[in-house]
């Protein structure tokens, strides 16, 4: 949705958008998210995030509040625009109370993109198209011909494609199960996922060039795997926490809640303990995980890593051949993509919004 859709305030809002975008970039830079690769500063400064979130939902005192560019109230449009450049994730797709898609927190996106360590001409596959904003940043930096983004939901891919086109970018946008990768566009130099996993799909290492990198949310962290060949990859977690919508498709069941009886309150409330508990789900019970956590001085995420060796993958603490290693779930067979005969559309009518319990 362009600035002309803002009710005749195009010039005023264009100035405001540029100012808010510059302020967002300064905040992200001050937080150090660009430190590993300052080359991303220019992309974030140039790509207008508000074009990718023509509407979104924020939690308010009476439930969810809808903000959208088409509001008849100029003050509401201004709140929408300013909110688009806050350093927060924005909920963009909700169905039956389930969050399906969002625009990720910009500083986390910056940290992840910097951790990719891209070079000129690198080909990148993004798993999880979201709004298209991340693909636009990649297209700006690397060229749209080098960028592919995939999502299971045809509504998401269609709206991402429209947002990208409005921003002047035309990367490959594919509807399909992200666990399959996109073999017809392979090989890739980098694969970045913006959805939480329980294990590493083997299609990703098979579609990544030797020496390439797979960066993916796992448990509540981000693991950066160097690919050795089609069947082997290994790497450590970044220090930062990361929370994303789960990867959908392939019949992936939601994990059952873990009972925490016998675990002290201080551990239950610790982000680092819950990371260990999630990473070792099915391999360590909560009491054993707590004992290890205390014995090893409450390790941070960067002490953990993952190894992929053929059909087997495991997480580890400190070293892949050390005393602490836990098998990750076997990858499930990806599911066929459903027929796409329905109108993809933008999703819920932005003038109405989904029923989220609020006005």
Q: Which residue has the tokens 């892949």?
A: 320
**Burial annotation 36-49 (CB, 10 A radius, 16+ → b, else e):** bbeebbebbeebbb
Alpha-carbon gap, residue 221 to 275, rounded angstroms: 7
With beta carbons less than 8 A apart as the criterion, state whether 220 and 278 touch.
yes
The gap from C-alpha 118 to its chain's centroid, in whole angstroms, comes to: 17
Residue with the two structure tokens 């207008």: 48
Contact 104, 132 (CB under 8 A): no
**311 C-beta neighbours (distance < 10 Å), count:** 9
Instruction: Annotate 116-181 with DSSP letters as a single string.
Output: T---TT--EEEE--TTSHHHHHHHHHH-GGGEEEEES-HHHHHHHHHHHHHTT---EEEES-GGG-
Asked if residues 21 and 43 have their Cβ atoms less than 8 Å apart, the reply is no
Residue 211 to residue 209: CA distance in whole angstroms:
6
Coil, helix or strand at residue 259: coil
What is the distance between the alpha carbons of residues 267 and 111, in angstroms, rounded to a whole number? 27
Q: Which of 147, 352, 152 is nearest to 251 (CA)?
A: 152
For the question of residue 342 being annotated catalytic, the response is no
Q: Which residues of 166-182 are buried (b: 16+ CB within 10 A; e: fewer)?
A: bbebebbbbbbbbbbbb
Active site residue: 71, 76, 101, 139, which one?
A: 101
Starting from the edge strand earliest in sequence, which strands make up the sheet with 208-218, in order? 172-175, 147-151, 124-127, 188-193, 208-218, 221-229, 232-236, 304-309, 312-317, 325-327
Cα dihedral 205, 254, 291, 237 sign? positive
Residues annotated as catalytic are 101
């Amino acid at each position: 949705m362009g600035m002309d859709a803002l009710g005749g305030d195009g010039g005023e809002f264009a100035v405001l958008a540029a100012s808010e975008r510059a302020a967002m970039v300064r905040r992200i830079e001050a937080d150090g998210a660009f430190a590993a690769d300052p080359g991303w500063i220019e992309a974030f400064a140039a790509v207008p995030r508000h074009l990718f979130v023509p509407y979104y939902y924020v939690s308010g005192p009476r439930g969810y509040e809808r903000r959208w560019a088409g509001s008849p109230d100029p003050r509401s449009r201004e709140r929408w625009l300013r909110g688009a450049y806050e350093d927060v994730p924005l909920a963009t797709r909700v169905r039956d109370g389930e969050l399906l898609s969002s625009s990720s927190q910009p500083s986390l996106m910056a940290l992840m993109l910097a951790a990719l360590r891209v070079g000129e001409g690198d080909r990148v596959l993004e798993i999880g198209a979201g709004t298209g904003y991340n693909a636009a940043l990649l297209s700006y930096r690397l060229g749209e011909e080098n960028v592919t983004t995939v999502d299971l939901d045809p509504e998401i891919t269609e709206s991402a494609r429209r947002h990208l086109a409005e921003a002047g970018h035309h990367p490959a946008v594919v509807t399909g199960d992200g666990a399959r990768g996109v073999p017809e566009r392979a090989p890739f130099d980098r694969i970045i996922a913006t959805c939480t996993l329980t294990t590493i799909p083997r299609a990703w290492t098979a579609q990544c060039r030797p020496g390439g990198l797979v960066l993916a949310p796992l448990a509540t962290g981000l693991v950066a795997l160097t690919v050795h060949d089609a069947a082997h990859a290994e790497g450590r977690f970044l220090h930062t926490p990361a929370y994303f919508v789960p990867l959908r498709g392939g019949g992936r069941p939601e994990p059952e809640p873990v009972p925490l009886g016998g675990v002290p309150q201080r551990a239950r409330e610790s982000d680092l303990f819950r990371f260990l508990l999630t990473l070792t789900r099915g391999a360590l019970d909560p009491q054993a995980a707590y004992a290890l956590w205390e014995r090893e001085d409450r390790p941070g995420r960067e002490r953990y890593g993952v190894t992929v060796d053929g059909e087997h993958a495991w997480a580890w603490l400190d070293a892949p051949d050390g005393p602490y290693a836990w098998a990750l779930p076997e990858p499930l067979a990806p599911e066929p993509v459903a027929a796409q005969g329905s109108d993809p559309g933008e999703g819920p009518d932005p003038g109405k919004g989904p029923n989220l319990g609020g006005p």
